[in-house]
Structure formats: structure tokens, C-alpha cells
Structure 1
Amino acid sequence: MIHITLGPMRYVNPEQDQLGRDHVGWDSNMDDAALFRANRGCWVLGERADREQYALLSAQGIVRQAIEIDGLASVAGGRRAIEGRYLEAGHPVYDAYVGKPQPVAAARNPVTYFDSPHAARTCGCGCGAPVTIGWFLTGHDQKALHDRVAKVGTVHQFIEWFDRTYVEGEGTMASRIVSIAPHANAKKACSAHGVGADCAALVADVVLRDAGSEHVEWAVCARWLKENADAEAWLRRHPVEAARLGAV
């Protein structure tokens, strides 16, 4: 798990800051959203950071925030910024660390790492086996790849689908799931199937990021969640959110 030690809040020039911030650091008056915006970057994060699921922000010896990591975005100077979301009470990582003494000794480097039982991940193929290094057990990455190819069809069909979906020149997929939560927004029709499909009750709100927008909000039916491979994979990687949907 990544551990980042914050200093007192200080003002910076938003025209010079790589994330456009006007302040960084910790202050007792900050709420969770402000703390995340001010301190998700820009940090020197080595190769180990790519294997971590969570980060803790500490100040004055106390853990102030726990973050679930979706990815690490590169910024100038070899530094990176965390993309993800801050956790709230009820999540096991939040409950284990936030508001408690920081789990690592003070060090000159603000970024440190430690092994946590709450940061164990399971194999990315979906088999459920624990992994401690990387994302897959040996050989399971190939299994995961071939399983997904088979869902599309032949290898040729998969390549055709990929070429249609991949945004040429952007280096990104056309859309990426950022979050899935129980339906609460104002949308009345399924965003995936449209009004004419007459879908059953909407069950989830899905936030997507694509080449055209950082925030696209959908409302979807249960059928879309079951049939969409990306949604299925996202929920496997986020069991807490999957449990919330299951309780609705």
C-alpha cells in the first residue's frame, strides 16, 4: 500500500502547478473532496506503485484519507498523479486506517510503501486466487485474454471489434468505467438501450470516461450490467460496490 505524508497546507500558483491547483497539503478545515483534489499528485511514484490498489494520506502522524487507485497519470518531471476516489466509512481500508496513527515510521521521503493485509488482490483473470506481485498468477493472463477473445468470437472478430472500439491516435479505449453505484440520478430511461427498449427498472448509475469527456453519466438496467463485459470485470475488481448493488 502507498503511504504519503502531507505537510501543512500552502498556496501554489495554479498557472504553474501541473494539476492547476492553488493549494496543496493538509488543513483541518478540508473536507474529503478538497483533500483529494489538493493531494492526489504530483508524486514520485516508482514501479511498485503500479501494483498497489490503495493509498493513504497522513498528516501530523494521523491517517487523514484512504484512496482507491484506478490508475496513475504521468505529469511533467517524471512525477505522477493518482486517479481514483477517496473511501468512506464502511470500507475495510478506511475503517482500518483513517483517523488512526500512520502505519509507517516518519521518513524523509514523503512517499513510502508498506505491506497491508487489506491490500491483498486476487488474480486478474477472475479465478479468485490471491496474488502478491503483479496482476496475474503465472499463465493466467493468457487465460484471461483468450476468455475475453472468445466472448467476442474468433481472433479475427476480436481484432475487428478492437479496431472499431479503439480511438485511433488517442491511445485510449472509446470509454472506460470510472464508477458504478446504485441508481440515484434523475435519468428515467436506460442510457444503454434507450427509451424504445422499455427496459425494466434502472438499477445502477455508471460514470464513464472517454476521449470526448472526463465525465459521462449513465443510468442502466440490470440486463446491461449482466451483458456488458467491462461492467462485469469492473464489479469483480470492486467487491464493495458490487455488494451495494446486490443489496438494492
Structure 2
Amino acid sequence: MIHITLGAMRYVNPKDDQLGRDHVGWDPNMGDEALFRANRGCWVLGERADREQYALLSAQGIVRQAIEIDRLVPVSGGRRAIEGRFLQAGHPVHDAYVEKPQPVEPARNPVTYFESPHAARTCGCGCGAPVTLGWFLTGHDQKALHDRVARIGTVREFIDWFDRIYTEDARTMSSKIVSITAHANDKNTCSAHGASAQCTSLIADVVLSDAGSEHVEWAVCARWLGENPDAAAWLESHPEAAARLNAS
């Protein structure tokens, strides 16, 4: 989590300020909106900041505001500003820190970082484990990558597939569902979530077509089938297939 120490409120020239502000810093009479707008930038935020979901603003040793980060945007001078929203009472991060002593020791640098259990996210590989720093547990990024390569075939086949369907301009890969039937193919791992997710029951085979191939065959679990809007729409428009799937 990012922690930012604020000084006392001071006035600045809007013509010189990178965000057009006329004041920065903290004052006890500031409301949440004013505090956020005055202090969302401009900070020296390194690479670690890109992996953080929340930031705390502290003044006089007390946390004054918690912010949920949407993204960090560059401003001049190599600094960045936070785009997001301040949190209110009832959010676990707000309730854990706001109006309580700051969770880090004072430092010369106004921007510091600390690990917080309240900033945990689920590991990006799909294993379900919480992570408080970055997007993956150590080594799980490679597991996630290899799981996805295995869905296509060999590394060479994956590269050929990726190069065929990757669109440099749009940077999107679109797939269309051709059919959904009861699971009967030889796949024993959920193609949507990968081996690390350990989906316990595969219930359907899904044939997809995309820019790289007219026939990509998946085996999927009940969760994917229930949560995927394209699958729900396909089954709604093919009631006979949906009935056969439900009967299996």
C-alpha cells in the first residue's frame, strides 16, 4: 500500500501547478473531496506504485484519507498523479486506517510503501491465494503462463497462434462460440481457469472460432459456464443444446 505524508496546507499558483491547483497539503477544515483534489498529485511514484490498489494520506502522524487507485497518470517532471476515489466509512481499508496513527515510521521521503493485509488481492494465476504485493505469488506468473501455453499446444504452436490473432492496433482477441455440449473430450483441466485453479468438475465442451483458428476446443467447469455472458447468451439462443446439457 502507498503511504503519503502531507505537510500543512499552502497556496500555490494554478498557472504553475501541474494539476491547476491553488493549494496543496492538509488543513483540519478540509472535507474529503477537497483533500483528495489537493493531494492526489504530484508525486514521485516508482514501479512498485503500479502494483498497489490503495494509498493513504497522512498528516501530523494521523491517516486523514484512504484512496482506491484506478490508475496513475504521468505529469511533467517525471511525477505522477492518482486517479481514483477517496474511501468512506464502511470500506475495510478506510475503517482500518483513517483517523488512526499512520502505519509507517516518519521518513524524509513523503512517499513510502508498506504491506497491508487489507490490500490483498487474489493471485493472478487463479489459484485463489491472497497476495499483498504485486499480482502473483512467487513463481505463479510462470505457472499461469505455462497453463495458457498448454491450452494451445507446444510453445511454438502458442507463438504461431498468438502472432496470427494479435491485432497491433486494437490489441484484442475475439472468439465466437460455435457449440456447447456435455463434456466428453479428453481434456482433464479447465481450459478457462487453468490447472492451478483445480476446477473439480468439467461439465461442458466448448468449440470456439477466432481470428487464428476456426476450431478451438475447450473443456470448462460449471463456474465458467454460469459466469460467462457469451455462454449464457449462446445457450439461451440454442434451447435444445441447453436442454441436452442440463440432462447430461
The TM tier, using the shorter chain, reads 0.5 to 0.7
Q: Which has the larger radius of gyration?
A: 2
Distance 1:125 1:20 in 2: 41
Q: If the length of structure 2 is used for normalisation, what is the TM-score? A: 0.58
1:112 Cα deviation from its structure 2 partner: 1.2
Structure 1 partner of 2:129: 129
The percent of aligned pairs where both chains have the same amino acid is 73
1:125 Cα deviation from its structure 2 partner: 4.3
Q: Which amino acid aligns with 1:138?
A: D
Distance 2:34 2:143 in 1: 39
Aligned CA distance change for structure 1 residues 29 and 132 (closer, same or farther; 3 Å): closer
User: Superposed, which structure 2 residues align to 1:67-106 within 5 Å?
Assistant: 67-106=67-106
Structure 2 partner of 1:195: none
- Structure 2: segments with no counterpart, 5+ residues: 153-160, 173-226, 231-248
Aligned residue pairs total: 165
Q: Which amino acid aligns with 1:139?
A: Q
Structure 1 partner of 2:119: 119
Q: Does 2:15 align with 1:15?
A: yes
Write out per-residue CA displacement over residues 39-87 of structure 1, whole angstroms, 9 at most, x where no aligned residue.
Answer: 0111111222122111100111111000111221111111111121111
Aligned CA distance change for structure 1 residues 146 and 131 (closer, same or farther; 3 Å): farther
1:108 Cα deviation from its structure 2 partner: 1.6
Structure 2 partner of 1:159: 166
Kept after mapping to 1: 8 A contact 2:51/2:134: yes
Structure 2 partner of 1:108: 108
1:130 Cα deviation from its structure 2 partner: 2.1
Structure 2 partner of 1:241: none
Superposition misfits of 4+ residues, deviation over 4 angstroms: 143-147, 154-158
Kept after mapping to 1: 8 A contact 2:54/2:119: yes
SS where residue 138 of structure 1 aligns?
A: helix
SS where residue 139 of structure 1 aligns?
A: helix
Structure 2 partner of 1:217: none
Structure 2 partner of 1:227: 229
Q: If the length of structure 1 is used for normalisation, what is the TM-score? A: 0.58
Structure 1 partner of 2:5: 5
SS where residue 66 of structure 1 aligns?
A: strand
- Structure 1: segments with no counterpart, 5+ residues: 167-224, 229-248
Distance 1:132 1:120 in 2: 4
Distance 1:90 1:226 in 2: 30
Kept after mapping to 2: 8 A contact 1:68/1:87: yes
Distance 1:68 1:119 in 2: 10
1:165 Cα deviation from its structure 2 partner: 6.8
Write out per-residue CA displacement over residues 186-236 of structure 1, whole angstroms, 9 at most, x where no aligned residue.
Answer: xxxxxxxxxxxxxxxxxxxxxxxxxxxxxxxxxxxxxxx9638xxxxxxxx
1:155 Cα deviation from its structure 2 partner: 5.0
